Structure 1
Amino acid sequence: MSSSELVRWGGLAAMGAGALYILAEFMDLYNFVLAGGGEQLSDVMATAPYAVEALLLLLGDVLLLFGLFGLYVRQSEAAGTLGLVGFLVAFLGTALTVGVDWDEVFVVPILADAAPELLDAGPPLGIILSFLTFLVGWLMFGVAALRARVYPRWAALLLIVGAVLAGVPLSLSTVPFGIAVAWMGSTLFAGRNTSAEQPARVR
């Protein structure tokens, strides 16, 4: 398999990641709003729909790791130093988030039954730092993409907005991020260069 084919498959992975993020957000809306939630966070985390949401996020973040490689390679020359740093921080943040999702899928159900007070106490510092790394990395990656002009301008802008909104603890707040990632992934998979001009290297 050639490097160009691997990059295209990265685009497909990004499309899948975006779709799974959107599905997970609608599950979150169901769990915390439509289904009435519960008096405590642990009440929601003990339910089967929450387990589905956590699994969707885990699969989405794993695909996002692969998709990020393709998204970066496509704009690596034009994105410059900011693109490289954004890629590295976004990759680290996404990898850390995979660990958080793994915990949500396999550990949280046990804690919800055996020690719900731990879940109701709020997220520990490690989880907060993982999400902050994710948000900062993808924000930087989005800014680099906007400057590099390899992907559609509106997709890059939506990624920037989505990275910021992803830090808001509300249902559907990550939908813009999912749409942006899927949009950029579709461009990558189709092999299109959408800039009207030859992209110039930025620093």
Structure 2
Amino acid sequence: MSITTTTLTRAAGAAAVVGGLLYIGVQINHPHLDLDLLATTEWKVRQAMKIGFATLSLAGITGMYLRQVRRTGVLGLIGYLVLALGFLFMVSIEVTGAVVLPAIAHSSPGFAADILAVAVPGGHAAGDIGLMGLLITVDGVLYLAGGLLFGIALFRARVLARWAAALLALGAVATVAIPLLPQVNFRLFAIPTGVALVGLGYSLWREQRTLTAPLLPDATTPRLDPAGAR
């Protein structure tokens, strides 16, 4: 199989679709974050899903940006870089949660509990968690700002599904309201972003498929006989 730009772009679209589905799936019946959860298989599975979401979504938005780099302009570049950095930070945080936290849960339960506390929007650590607190805060800002800027750039470019681009921007902004609505399950705010990624990824995949579809001859068009042509 030859590797072409079209093939890579379609793969990026598929990656965004799978990443969005993982993000939606990980929110379903998500248990309360506590030390007991760290020792379970469910924790490992959900962390793996989060890592997969961030990694595949990074590949997906890269394909989206490269497909319309001229149309998105400076805003698209800034939005892509900020959101990509947010996904990179997210991968490091989720890998730490999957590998490090279960290993130190017994020896340093206070530290592990504080990490879980700040992982919840509006949560605060009782003790000192060092640079982890700053990393989580910065990642949240990058994710919010990047989603907003990149969503606006995609919407203005008019290449991929505009409803999905708008939903990406709105989903990022909606996360600001989480601390103001403590009675609402904060995981519901992640669903619009997951749906937006699925919509954008499918739009990118479908567009590339349309571009590469073979042109079939029109049955109503008369065919010339090369032997009888003058």
TM-score bracket for the superposition, by shorter chain length: 0.7 to 0.9
1:190 aligns with 2:206: yes
CA distance in 2, matches of 1:114, 1:24: 28
Give RMSD over aligned pairs: 1.9
Which of 77-86 and 105-114 deviates more? 105-114
Larger Rg: 2
Mapping of residues 1-203 of structure 1, within 5 Å = 1-26=3-28, 29-32=29-32, 41-121=34-114, 122-123=117-118, 124-166=133-175, 168=178, 170-191=186-207
Q: Structure 2 unaligned runs (5+)?
A: 119-132, 180-185, 210-230
CA distance in 2, matches of 1:146, 1:109: 41
**TM-score, length of structure 2 as denominator length:** 0.74
Supply the AA of the counterpart residue of 2:26: A
CA distance in 2, matches of 1:180, 1:155: 5
CA distance in 2, matches of 1:75, 1:135: 22
Alpha-carbon displacement from aligned partner over 1:133-166 (angstroms, at most 9, x marks no partner): 1221121100111111112221111111222345
CA distance in 1, matches of 2:187, 2:106: 24
Identity of aligned residues (%): 34
Measure how far apart 1:192 and its partner are.
Answer: 6.2
Q: Secondary structure at the match of 2:87?
A: helix
**TM-score, length of structure 1 as denominator length:** 0.83
Q: Secondary structure at the match of 1:31?
A: coil
2:130 corresponds to: none
Are the counterparts in 2 of residues 31 and 50 from structure 1 also a CA contact under 8 Å?
no
